[in-house]
């Protein structure tokens, strides 16, 4: 795995971005995020399992970069559940089937848990 250094031009601490640029970003980034996650799932066959704002970077060319693949897995069989330990994912962005698990190991099928997490991220935008 390569070390990637990017410039996060839209840091949430930077409030100097003009209002009209925020509107443009809200129109552009959700579609880019969906394309990035679709590429991850359909082409790379990867379940990320921890989609959250801190793991999404935007470079100086406004390209979306999904990072932190520490708990991600390759999707080889749709009947094989994604398992999560009590730690390793961010509960705030976790799908209900992951959070509500009774045995402290959340289970989610297919890529749905990533899609749910992405929806949570978009709601925060």
- Three-class secondary structure of residue 106 per DSSP: strand
Per the residue annotation, which of 50, 62, 68, 77 is the catalytic one? 50
Residue 68 is a catalytic residue: no
Give me Rg for the CA atoms of the chain. 15
Which residues, 6+ apart, have CB-to-CB distance to 71 below 8 Å?
Answer: 49, 50, 84, 88, 89
Angle at 121 between CA 85 and CA 53, to 5 degrees: 75
Inter-helix orientation angle 19-38/112-124, to 10°:
180
Residues annotated as catalytic (active site), given as ranges: 50
């Amino acid at each position: 795995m390569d070390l990637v250094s990017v410039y996060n031009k839209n840091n949430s601490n930077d409030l100097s971005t003009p209002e009209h640029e925020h509107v443009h970003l809200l129109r552009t980034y959700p579609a880019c995020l969906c394309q990035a996650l679709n590429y991850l799932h359909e082409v790379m066959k990867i379940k990320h399992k921890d989609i959250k704002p801190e793991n999404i970077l935007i470079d100086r060319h406004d390209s979306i970069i999904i990072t932190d693949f520490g708990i991600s897995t390759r999707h080889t069989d749709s009947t094989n559940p994604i398992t999560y330990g009590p730690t390793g994912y961010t509960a705030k962005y976790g799908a209900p089937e992951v959070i509500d698990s009774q045995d402290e190991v959340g289970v989610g099928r297919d890529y749905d848990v990533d899609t749910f997490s992405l929806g949570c991220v978009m709601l925060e935008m």
